[in-house]
Homo-oligomer: A and B are copies of this chain.
Amino acid sequence: MLDHGGNLDLALQRFGGRLEEWIDLSTGINRQPYPLPNLEPRHWNALPSRADIESLHEAAREAYGTRAPIVALAGAQAAIQLLPRLWPPGRMRILAPSYNEYTAVLRAAGWDVAEVTTLAALADADLAIVVNPNNPDGQRNDPGDLLALQAHVGRLVVDESFADAASELSLAAEAGRPGLLILRSFGKFYGLAGVRLGFALGSEADVSALAALAGPWPVSGIAIAIGRCALLDRDWAAATSARLLHDAQRLDTLVQAQDWTMVGDTPLFRLYDVGDAVAAQAQLGAARIWSRIFNERPGWLRLGLPGNETEWARLAAALVR
């Protein structure tokens, strides 16, 4: 198992307390989730129908601003797990530091994997991977630069898991071009990571192959019902984007009194260099606030956004100890 945010097991093990006491800021999951719509018995009981799945696809195309072939999967992670089955092994290069599953999954499947630190260094890869905006360092890449890069690589995967509130970065409108595959996460922006829903947008060939590999019922009836409703609610999305941008600045203001430097940001989380991240995580952990640190970067602490005033107050109190 790789290290991930959201691992509250570890928080409890290390710092005690009951699960309900903890505020989990270790992920980039929105803590003001989309309100659950009414669910019909058939969403629980029956196998999802093709018509239901197609209507979810249509809602996702609407939300992401694309007419491209699309397939719903059980989270962006489910798409990552399938990447090695799409193409024969070759040279994979990823703009790093980034989400650690890409390297692990492709290496396990026999790919020649390396991390690079500039877009230019991705050129000539059989498979280039860019998370945009990036997790954990928030790096943003201009969509035009990514399109230019695409001409110089075999395939380009752009992971837009954190792009919902930064839609100017999205290449979804360009999806459908051969060699470009875009992954979207539903659970982060909509605050429903437990539902397991994500999408892959790409060429007809890649999307059909992913759909075949995922099988006839790739997502749950619940995920379909909730996803369709949430993705079509563009007012909620606009209001949430605005709130996240506001709250992210509020977090930056709150931590100004600390001796922390901003390393990078997305609207769903901040990455700070805090000097001694283990100590900072312990200070927050003593107040039952969980954060994400990174073995290979001893100064880095990633913080998601509190979800309500109680959580903001607890974070403020934890920081002044």
Name A residues whose Cβ lies closer than 8 Å to a Cβ of B: 1-2, 4-9, 19, 24, 27, 29, 31, 33, 36, 41-51, 74-75, 77-78, 80-81, 85, 101, 105, 108, 187, 191-196, 212-223
Contact = CB atoms under 8 A, between A and B. Distances in A.
List the 8 closest pairs (A to B, CB-CB), nearest first: A194-B221, A6-B47, A196-B220, A81-B215, A9-B51, A47-B193, A44-B194, A9-B49
Given A6-B49, A9-B50, A49-B9, A78 B42 contact: no
A104 to B, nearest CB: 9
Contacts of A5: 47
Contact of A1 (B50, B80, B105): B50
Contacts of A4: 47, 216
B1 A193 contact: no
Contacts of A42: 19, 194
Q: Which of A31, A45, A50, A192 has the most CB of B within 10 A?
A: A45
Nearest to A224: B194
Contact of A45 (B29, B41, B81): B29
Contacts of A77: 215-217
Given A31-B45, A77-B217, A105-B215, 11 more contacts: A2-B216, A7-B49, A24-B46, A33-B45, A45-B194, A77-B215, A101-B216, A194-B220, A194-B222, A220-B223, A222-B222
Nearest to A219: B196
A78, A85, A194, A222, most chain B CB atoms within 10 A: A194
